[in-house]
Amino acid sequence: MTGAKDPLLNVENLRVEIDFNGAWVPLVDDVSFSVKPGETLGLVGESGSGKSVSAMSLMGFMGRQRGQRLSGTAAFQGKDLLRLNDRELESMRGNEIAMVFQEPMTSLDPAFKVGHQIAAGIRVHQHVTAAQAKEMAIEAMDKVRIPSARVRADSYPHEFSGGMRQRVLIAMAIANNPSMLIADEPTTALDVSVQAQILALLTEMKEDLGLAMIFITHNMGVVADICDRLAVMYAGQIVEEGDVFETFAAPQHPYTDRLLAAMPSIASRRGSLEWIPGSPPKPTDFPAGCRFAPRCRHRLDSCEQPTTLLEISPGRSNRCLRGNTWMEENES
Ligand SMILES: Nc1ncnc2c1ncn2[C@@H]1O[C@H](COP(=O)(O)OP(=O)(O)OP(=O)(O)O)[C@@H](O)[C@H]1O
């Protein structure tokens, strides 16, 4: 039996590789993290760091196709997500784990009324009549605060604003009462004011429904707003994991430190906004040692050794070969 404090999802040594001209190239490797019931984990990092590939492989959308391969484990409610067959994947997706993507328009079918689309998702997983599913769809739309849900259920996706379309997708995601939601940059395509409303809605949903959430973003400000814990990804690996408050107060990895220094609110406290010079390596060019070393102002010759994510205190891990000894150089 699963205890209240046990993780709902426990990912260990996830590795996703693609065949690149006859050689296996890792897009993500040595990725381990866990999410407890009701907890929100922020998966954060620059573009191309492997956030989406990690999430997509958990949902069975990556690593299974020809020219791709997967290893590691992802324990979720007594099953290993990486080893589900097609039928088991179908029954898990949108039911036990639901996903919300960045671009609401591409996830909705323009030819069907939104109420119909939400109801169709319900009928995949629940034995209910079309009329019952429609009522449940309206209820879900109501929950995500779409005004006049009963009337709006008969509208087509293009009749909604971007923010309202994202609400429709969230309604679709929660309609089957999942225990986990994976949100991949769900606010990036929206205006700033609408972004704040969607974040507030997700926070509310998480609290009301006791949902666990993996929130994928490149925005540390968003992490501060809605996440309990964060895992920072760089070049296909997690470089630091921990409680959001503790990590923001004292980042252990130089990459996390740089990401925070690039946040306007923190930069104004420190006196300057600092971008990270250079760009991350491509999967075909990952260095054998620390992958961040070429851009790190604290690197030593010894940083050419392979790295491991080490637990430094309960719930906090760091991949920096220098531990936190680099911090003294920040102060000088
Ligand atoms: N289907 C694919 N085939 C080959 N390479 C891929 C595929 N999908 C992603 N990649 C590569 O895998 C790496 C990780 O990509 P991923 O989309 O996970 O990054 P990300 O951190 O989610 O970035 P973003 O914030 O831009 O979405 C990148 O180098 C990307 O080019």
User: How does pLDDT run across 112-135, given as a tens digit for each residue?
Assistant: 999 999 999 999 999 999 999 999
The CA-atom distances, in angstroms, between 321 and each of 93, 295, 326 are 38, 15, 10
Candidates 21, 49, 255: which one to mutate for ligand 1, based on the most atoms within 8 Å of Cβ?
A: 49
Where in the chain are the domains? 9-96+187-331, 104-177
Helix (H, G, I), strand (E, B) or coil at 40: strand
pLDDT greater than 50 at residue 1: no
Encode pLDDT of 175-221 as tens digits.
999 999 999 988 887 788 888 888 999 999 889 889 999 999 988 98
pLDDT-derived band at 108, boundaries 50, 70, 90: confident
Q: Which residues contact 73 (CB under 8 A, 6 or more apart)?
A: 10, 11, 12, 13, 14, 80, 82
pLDDT of 269 reads 61
Q: Could you tell me the distance, in angstroms and rounded to a whole number, from the CA of residue 308 to the centre of ligand 1?
A: 22
Q: What's the gap in Å between 235 CA and the centre of ligand 1?
A: 10
Q: Which residues line ligand 1 (CB under 6 A)?
A: 18, 27, 45, 47-53, 218, 282-283
> Distance from first CA to last CA of the chain, Å, rounded?
52
Mean pLDDT, the chain, whole residue set: 90
At 277 the pLDDT is 83
Share of the chain above pLDDT 90, in %: 74
pLDDT exceeds cutoff 70 at 222: yes
Of the listed ranges 100-109, 140-149, 162-171, 226-235, the one predicted with least confidence? 100-109
Q: Which of 53, 187, 188 to mutate for ligand 1's pocket (most ligand atoms within 8 Å of CB)? A: 53
- Domain 9-96+187-331 falls under CATH 3.30.450.70: no
What number does the ligand 1 atom closest to the CA of 55 have?
A: 18
For the question of an ipTM over 0.90, the answer is yes
The tens digit of pLDDT for each residue in 256-280 reads 999 998 877 665 566 555 678 888 9
Tens-digit pLDDT profile for residues 15-45 = 999 999 999 999 999 999 999 999 999 999 9
Mutate to test the pocket of ligand 1, among 52, 64, 217, 234 (most ligand atoms within 8 A of CB): 52
The ligand 1 atom at the shortest distance from the C-alpha of residue 283 is: 29
Which tens digits make up the pLDDT trace of 139-168? 999 999 999 999 999 999 999 998 899 899
Residue 283 pLDDT > 80: yes
Reported in sequence order, the residue ranges of 209-309 that DSSP labels E, i.e. its strands, are: 212-217, 229-234, 237-243
* Minimum CA distance residue for ligand 1 atom 28: 48
Mutational test site, ligand 1, from 16, 27, 220, max ligand atoms within 8 Å of CB: 27
Which residue's CA is the closest to the ligand 1 atom numbered 9?
A: 53
Q: What is the pLDDT of residue 318?
A: 97
Lowest mean pLDDT among 72-81, 106-115, 225-234, 311-320: 106-115
**Ligand 1, closest atom to CA 68?**
3
User: Which pair of structure tokens corresponds to residue 226?
Assistant: 């809605």
Going from the Cα of 280 to the center of ligand 1, the distance in angstroms, rounded, reads: 12
Query: Which distant-in-sequence residues (6+ apart) come within 8 Å of 271 by Cβ?
Result: none
pLDDT above 90 (res 4): no
The angle subtended at Cα 203 by Cα 142 and Cα 179, nearest 5°, is 80
User: What pLDDT score does 2 carry?
Assistant: 47
Let me know if 59 is exposed, middle or buried by CB neighbors in 10 A (0-12, 13-18, 19+): middle
**Cα of 54 from ligand 1 centre, angstroms:** 9
DSSP state of 246: H
Predicted pLDDT of residue 192: 82
Instruction: Give nearest CA residue, ligand 1 atom 14.
Output: 50
